[in-house]
Structure 1
Amino acid sequence: MPLGGSAPSRRPRVGFVGVGWIGRHRMEAMLATGEIEAAVYADPSDAAAEGAARLAPAAERARDLDAMLDHDLDAVVIATPSARHAEEACRAFARGVAVFCQKPLGRSAQEVASVVEAARASDRLLGVDLSYRYAEGVARIRDLVASGDLGRLYAADLVFHNAYGPDKPWFYDPKLSGGGCVVDLGVHLVDLALSLFDEPVEQVSSALFRKGSPLGPTQNEAEDFAVATLTFRSGAVARLACSWGLPAGRDAVIRTSFVGTEAGAELRNVGGSFYDFVAERFDGVQAVRLCDPPDAWNVRAAQDFARRVARGERFDPGVADQITVARVIDRIYGRGSADEKEPVARVAAAVGASSAS
């Protein structure tokens, strides 16, 4: 394969499995970089395939992932239903192909760990489409935390309420999706909380609901409302809430607020938008604007992956933080470790220690 220590002499050939709205959007974003070639795509929907053909007229349509992998690819983009993510990613790594996968990477921490290990064993790049990481407001808040401008971070409040629900039936079957709104929306909140606190989670408590009725850990239904509290080793606390179909008076309520001993900071959506965000720093009663829309954050994860593949990058041990995220989500669902006092710690260092150099 052309992936190696130096950039390939030609543009990497990328395959796209699943070219519905999200898959086509990621294809368009990657092509806009000029760094990759869309070589092949696969989707059972003729309408979706026609949309992909308009974006990449020279690309071929394959029957499925296996047929796609016969096209001498450098990377694949996976935008299929969640139940297929881990298995398809592992098959691609077994063929020596880098992977950019829609979230969630797997339906459980066990599935996520299997994908990270497959990436490590094949020494191929693994990217996960957690696009909110790339929002300018998140970057500004992360800089404030890293520089110590907020003081010691000790509390956070993160919400993602969607006035609608998914339009695909498989989202509502936990066996296929891995859960409900937590694994769909809450994964972004958990990912942001863990990246900014950067310390082990000691305790997780949660409450899940379906149409207003509490769900127990053994009930096989997808929750449409959830709240959770993460307590970190230092005693810092992050509160999370997410939902589908909430009567919120707008399309969406998305907010991440962080409080430190010196100042606070917040990212929030504007007017119910899924795309427009502002970020502010709070000092007492004073608010200082950090950034305003527009911000093309939702294409940056895909474009970053395309550029990294074009540079010939191989396995990045940092992706193992997704195992940590998945372990916290497992705890929210009540399917975590038998010993609920076991800290959920970052595992990237351990994975990196055994990766190929």
Structure 2
Amino acid sequence: MTATKRPRIGFLGTGRIGIRRMQSLLQSGLIKAAALSDPSAEMVDAARALAPEAAVLPDLDALLASDLDGIVIATPSALHAEQSIAALEAGLAVFCQKPLGRTAEEVGAVVAASQKADRLLGVDLSYRHTAGMVKIRELLGQGTLGEVFGVDLVFHNAYGPDKPWFFDKRLSGGGCVMDLGVHMVDLALWALGYPEVVETTGHLFSKGRPIDRDSETVEDYATATMTLASGTVVRLTCSWHLHAGRDAVIEADFYGTAGGASLRNVDGSFFDFRAVHHTGTSSQVLAEPEADWPGGAALDWARKLAQGQRFDPAAHDFTTVSTVLDRIYAR
């Protein structure tokens, strides 16, 4: 593949998330959808409506045997690590839906396979790519907020997942922390430059009752506290099916000695975000709601792939985030 050639991409899994990422990538013009595979005829038909020239193949093995440069994986979580490793070992770049693995061990194995194969690895941690978080990260990097001592992260989804495997910890790796918390932990660590996390505590609940952190029961409400080497305290709260009076509550607040910054969803939306810089009792808007940011992580991966980029050492950050989740689950 040359730096000027559009990468030929295969799509494994074209359900709700998979087809959205396909649509974003096709609209960008960065890639060519060469092949797709999904066990559902309905999902295949929906994908072919977007990419009528793409070959419809029966499974991953068939995709790997095709003339592809990369693959987008949007399958159930239990399959992510194994499928990603298989694709990397076959010489393909990989973009995978989160979580990349159910444990830090699984994630580390995928990152190691990416490094060994010298192939690009991306994960759909999309909230980094909101205009608001980009602005907040710039403030943090410039030292505008002073010394950051506190971070509050919230992600409540009033509906929760609609697939049974999400509620089987052997298949999902965990509940709302694995599904929603992964985004917020990544967001905070990415914004702060991936500082060392020296202590992690957590409290998990199922249907309003506390459960052991290493329980086989999947949590639907969780709180966790992460203490960084600097002494900064990061607090996470996330849930499914919470009575919060709106579809979603998604917030990231950064508090420093010289100012604060907040990313908040607007009117309960899963997609519309506003970012604000606080100084004392005054606030200045940094960014208003935008259009297609959910595809940002996929587009970033596709641009790098089109430019010929191979293994990116930043992939080790995926393992760092997964290690924090392991600690929340007392693994």
TM-score scaled by structure 1? 0.91
CA contact (8 A) 1:33 1:306 kept: no
The match for 1:85 among 55, 80, 84 is 80
| AA partner of residue 267 (structure 2) | G
The match for 2:171 among 176, 179, 192 is 176
The equivalent of 1:338 in structure 2 is none
Alignment of 1:139-178 (within 5 A): 139-178=134-173
Give structure 1 regions of 4+ aligned residues with deviation exceeding 2 angstroms. Answer: none
Quote the Cα distance in structure 2 between the aligned partners of 1:195 and 1:300.
15
The equivalent of 2:185 in structure 1 is 190
The equivalent of 1:34 in structure 2 is 29
Alignment of 1:219-258 (within 5 A): 219-258=215-254
Quote the Cα distance in structure 1 between the aligned partners of 2:284 and 2:268.
21
| AA partner of residue 16 (structure 1) | F
How many residues are paired up?
A: 330
Alignment of 1:42-121 (within 5 A): 42-121=37-116
CA contact (8 A) 1:157 1:257 kept: yes
Instruction: Report percent identity of matched pairs.
Output: 54
Q: Secondary structure at the match of 1:71?
A: coil
Q: Secondary structure at the match of 2:249?
A: strand
Quote the Cα distance in structure 2 between the aligned partners of 1:225 and 1:163.
11
| AA partner of residue 178 (structure 1) | G
The equivalent of 2:131 in structure 1 is 136
- Shift, 1:233, TM fit: 0.8
The equivalent of 2:307 in structure 1 is 311
The equivalent of 2:294 in structure 1 is 298
Quote the Cα distance in structure 2 between the aligned partners of 1:271 and 1:75.
37
Aligned-residue Cα RMSD (Å) equals: 0.9
Bigger mean CA offset, 189-198 vs 148-157? 189-198
| AA partner of residue 283 (structure 1) | T
TM-score scaled by structure 2? 0.98
Quote the Cα distance in structure 1 between the aligned partners of 2:226 and 2:150.
10
CA contact (8 A) 2:203 2:213 kept: no
CA contact (8 A) 1:106 1:112 kept: yes
- Shift, 1:296, TM fit: 2.2
Quote the Cα distance in structure 2 between the aligned partners of 1:146 and 1:11.
34
- Shift, 1:34, TM fit: 1.3
Quote the Cα distance in structure 2 between the aligned partners of 1:33 and 1:308.
13
Quote the Cα distance in structure 1 between the aligned partners of 2:206 and 2:53.
46
- Shift, 1:123, TM fit: 0.3
The equivalent of 2:10 in structure 1 is 15
Which structure 2 segments of 5+ residues have no match? none
CA contact (8 A) 2:214 2:329 kept: no
